[in-house]
Amino acid sequence: FKAYDIRGQVPDQLNEDVAYAIGIAYASFLGPERVVVGHDIRLSSPDLTKHLVEGLTDAGVEVTHIGQCGTEEIYFATEHFEMDGGIVVTASHNPKDYNGMKLVREGSRPISGDTGLDDIRKIAEEWLAGDRSRSVSRKKGSVTPLAHRDDFLDLLMTHLNLVTLKPLKIVVNAGNGAAGPVLLWITVCRGAGRGEAPAAAGRDACAAASASSSSPSGLNIASLPKVGATPLSATQTLRPM
């Protein structure tokens, strides 16, 4: 537990039991009804998220799961969908054998050491030491998937005036991170508007994304792209949507 988030090596410092205890502790401290959860592209993230969610639901929390995402998408979803809090499993730029969590409360307000993170740490440590005074709820919470990305993209696009913006050619290297699918969808897959199926060329490009740096990969964290790698369609023309 650091000043503003949680970081640790997997599994020595952060593992399934710790993730579960953090879920119990977060729910005990905050008392939320609905919490949105997501995770980054690290290989350990889905399993840690699974046990975090189990801790939350055992404490009676209704969990909304947005799956693989960037931290900013958790911040967005927490406020946009009026959740009581949000947690993203991520270790940001740290090496691939690390993982962690960022926690927010309603309105996407960060939970730091002086606003609750130290309390959550204490509760989690007590739980791991065998103190079950923070008992699980008699009524287990449920898990509901949420397709949030269209709403997230709508917000992003409000920062651009596509009527006055001249066509641009932009080179993007997403570094195999979680932002890759968002960038790809904006530039290639979204078509002329929300929900419109991409043209044939766009569909082919989306299908080929697994071979590019826009494809998330937990193996390439905190490292440069391989020399000689050919990114998918290095330039895309940004035009009014």
Q: What does the pLDDT look like over 98-114, one tens digit per residue?
A: 999 999 999 999 999 99
pLDDT for position 93: 86
pLDDT for position 180: 80
147-156, 178-187, 197-206: which has the minimum mean pLDDT? 197-206
- In this predicted model, what pLDDT tens digit does every residue of 187-211 receive, in sequence order? 665 543 444 444 444 444 444 443 3
pLDDT for position 160: 80
- In this predicted model, what pLDDT tens digit does every residue of 126-144 receive, in sequence order? 999 999 887 677 799 999 9
pLDDT for position 141: 97
pLDDT for position 120: 97
pLDDT level of residue 235 (50, 70, 90 thresholds): very low
- In this predicted model, what pLDDT tens digit does every residue of 55-75 receive, in sequence order? 999 999 999 999 999 999 999
pLDDT for position 170: 73
- In this predicted model, what pLDDT tens digit does every residue of 22-57 receive, in sequence order? 999 999 999 999 999 999 999 999 999 999 999 999
Does residue 239 surpass a pLDDT of 50? no
pLDDT for position 197: 42
Q: Looking at the annotation, which residues are catalytic?
A: 92
Mean pLDDT of the chain: 82
pLDDT for position 213: 55
SS3 of the chain:
CCCCCEEEECCCCCCHHHHHHHHHHHHHHHCCCEEEEEECCCCCHHHHHHHHHHHHHHCCCEEEEEEECCHHHHHHHHHHCCCCEEEEECCCCCCCCEEEEEEEEHHHEECCHHHCHHHHHHHHHHHHCCCCCCCCCCCCCCEEECCCHHHHHHHHHCCCCCCCCCCEEEECCCCCCCCHHHHHHHHHHCCCCCCCCCCHHHHHHHHHHHHCCCCCCCCCCCCCCCCCCCCCCCEEEECCC
pLDDT for position 194: 43
